[in-house]
Structure formats: C-alpha cells, structure tokens
Amino acid sequence: MNDLRDLYQEVVFDHYRKPRNFGCLANANRRAEGDNPLCGDRIKVYLTVENGFVSDVGFEGTGCAISTASASLMTEALKGKSESDAAKLIESFHASLTGAESERGDLGKLEVLQGVREFPARVKCATLAWHTANSALKNLKETVTTE
C-alpha cells in the first residue's frame, strides 16, 4: 500500500507540473465544461471525434493537483479509443473511485489514481475531468457540476 501511495504522489505531481495535452484544441468538434465548486476546480475538455474514434483530446482549466493530474491522465487514456471504448473506460474509472471494489475493471496506468480513495473529499476532484469528458463525448452541451 505504501508503494501505491508513493506512486500516486509521484504520478499526480508529475502530471500536475507537466499536464499532457493541455490547451484548446482548434479542431475539436466536441467540448464540455466542468465545475467542482467544492474545491474550485474548473475545466474545459475538447475532443476531436472522427469516424467513431477519439483522435485527439485536450483540456484547459485551473484546479488543484488532483483535478489537473486526473485530467492529464484522462487525455492520454482516451486518445485513440473508439467512442464506445472511451465511454466504457469513463464508466469503469468512475466506478473504481465511487463504487464497490468488485466493479473495478482493468484500468492499467490509471490504477494509480485509486490512491485518491484514501481522501474521500478529493474524489470529486479526480472524477471532474472524466464527467466532463463524458458530457463532451455524448455531446450533451451542458456544464457538468460535481454537486
């Protein structure tokens, strides 16, 4: 467990300092905004969806280390996935942080974010980008709020 905690801190810090795919995507055809008023995290997620695949992902925003790191990891995880695989991954990621242990799927590299389960108040920080990506993916055109 200590190893997971160390890895969690290392990965969160790394992605917070150097967020991947940060910035507005000029060619995005789907986008959504998310807001976590509990912590003050705000995010915009941009997706380029072509032929049923998420060909590019970007995000912008301001927030705490966990929300930024989770958004950064999310962009890496969704890029290149089919729309249905992306939707499934979003669902299992969300279940892994909020649901029962048995609902955890294989999250690969994202496993490290399970560390946030030790800090229940921060779970919404970790899931914000994913809720927002879900809204963008499904073209819901609504701002996501974690409350």
CA angle 81, 82, 87 (to 5 degrees): 90
39 in contact with Zn ion (CB under 5 A) = yes
Shortest distance in whole angstroms from residue 66 CB to Zn ion: 6
107 in contact with Zn ion (CB under 5 A) = no
67 in contact with Zn ion (CB under 5 A) = yes
56 in contact with Zn ion (CB under 5 A) = no
By beta-carbon proximity to Zn ion, the closer residue of 45 and 125 is 125
Pick from 12, 54, 64, 86: which binds Zn ion (CB under 5 A)? 64
Pick from 11, 12, 78, 125: which binds Zn ion (CB under 5 A)? 125
Q: Distance between CA 27 and CA 7 in Å, rounded?
A: 34
Print burial letters for 106-138: b (CB count within 10 Å at least 16), e (below 16).
ebeebebbbbbeeeeebbbbbbbbbbbbbbbbe
CB 33 within 8 A of CB 43: yes
- Site residues, Zn ion (CB under 5 A): 39, 41, 64, 67, 125
